[in-house]
Structure 1
């Protein structure tokens, strides 16, 4: 992996609004490649193979697909010769709205596939932490980690407000994280690690009788 030698142009990934782009990112290898580039900095397919299972040739194909759909871009200034092909992530992440795919015949299937890939990756990270996180990171980090859940009784508007509050908190700490990352690249003294955060909030019904979402 390599440190960014300069700031990239002011661009971010676009919100996904078409099925072709959604299918392109809904692939475990491509999602993992984007994650590694986004958190670890620019790299070649060969360097990425140390973090993402697969032969460099296969990873190169997936990297080209990510570039075609606006998730990464080439970083030619990092190559020492014409044979090295370096890639960098375009910030912004992977995001879409289900509403953009309503009415498309294959929309529901594509959304389900993409959501399964994302949830599988989230659970993979959680299982890795549960299996060896405390031993790997030590008692201080283990004590600072958060695991919580609750059941709330909310109206539709209250759930929307709750979601907005969560977004505000995530944005606040996202800005702080980005500022700290830039400081670390300038050589500031820091004691930071990557911290994975994911939340889900959705209606459910485990009461006896017909379910609202699945009426008898």
Structure 2
């Protein structure tokens, strides 16, 4: 049985702070989706200069989030980059909640993640007519109101992560086998949090 691959869990505050800059979060997400890219290619997507993007990629590399991509074709004048871990990364708020600096970093990074997700979804909403019926019928936005304990919410999260992992591996395997027809990047955002009406 294959071992379950999980996102890297960040526990070091200096590494988490690397994502307090919203441009770094955006660059990481773009690079994760693209697989590999140059600073110039990424700069076209973030309305920035290649030198600014290079600076932020180097900062992400210092913290182990991105790395130079080996074996990319090109004339050698520009570096190719890739994410360092195909499984991504995550963190637990409780690992940083003990200090004001940690709590501030968690708040800033969490808001940054949320803001990039909202921007991505708004872009889809603005462009959905261009995707056609097949994609718009398949896309979804759902909300469920549940009565759970913290342990049940944590278990539900584990089950959803396992489901997403299976579908990610299925897509990777199909792409590796050359099955790329009608295959697009798909972003799935799920949130689970307590609230009181």
TM-score (norm 1): 0.81
How much has 1:123 moved relative to structure 2?
0.6
Q: 8 Å contact 1:34–1:89 — kept in the other structure?
A: yes
Q: 8 Å contact 1:79–1:86 — kept in the other structure?
A: no
Query: Does structure 1 residue 180 correspond to structure 2 residue 174?
Result: yes
The equivalent of 2:92 in structure 1 is: 97
Structure 2 counterparts to residues 8-157 of structure 1, below 5 A: 14-75=8-69, 77-78=71-72, 80-90=74-84, 91-133=86-128, 135-157=129-151
How much has 1:201 moved relative to structure 2?
0.9
After superposition, the Cα gap between the structure-2 partners of 1:78 and 1:54, relative to the gap in structure 1 and judged at 3 Å, is same
For 1:73-99, what per-residue CA distance to the aligned partner results, in whole angstroms no more than 9, with x for missing partners? Answer: 113532644532221222222311112
CA distance in 1, matches of 2:151, 2:80: 46
Higher Rg: 1
How much has 1:192 moved relative to structure 2?
0.8
Cα RMSD for the two superposed structures: 2.0
**Structure 1 stretches of 5 or more lacking a match?**
1-10, 207-216
Q: 8 Å contact 1:42–1:86 — kept in the other structure?
A: yes
After superposition, the Cα gap between the structure-2 partners of 1:156 and 1:88, relative to the gap in structure 1 and judged at 3 Å, is closer
Q: 8 Å contact 2:68–2:79 — kept in the other structure?
A: yes
For this pair of structures, how many residues does the alignment match? 192
CA distance in 1, matches of 2:134, 2:7: 35
Query: Does structure 1 residue 200 correspond to structure 2 residue 191?
Result: yes
Q: 8 Å contact 1:13–1:71 — kept in the other structure?
A: no
TM-score (norm 2): 0.88
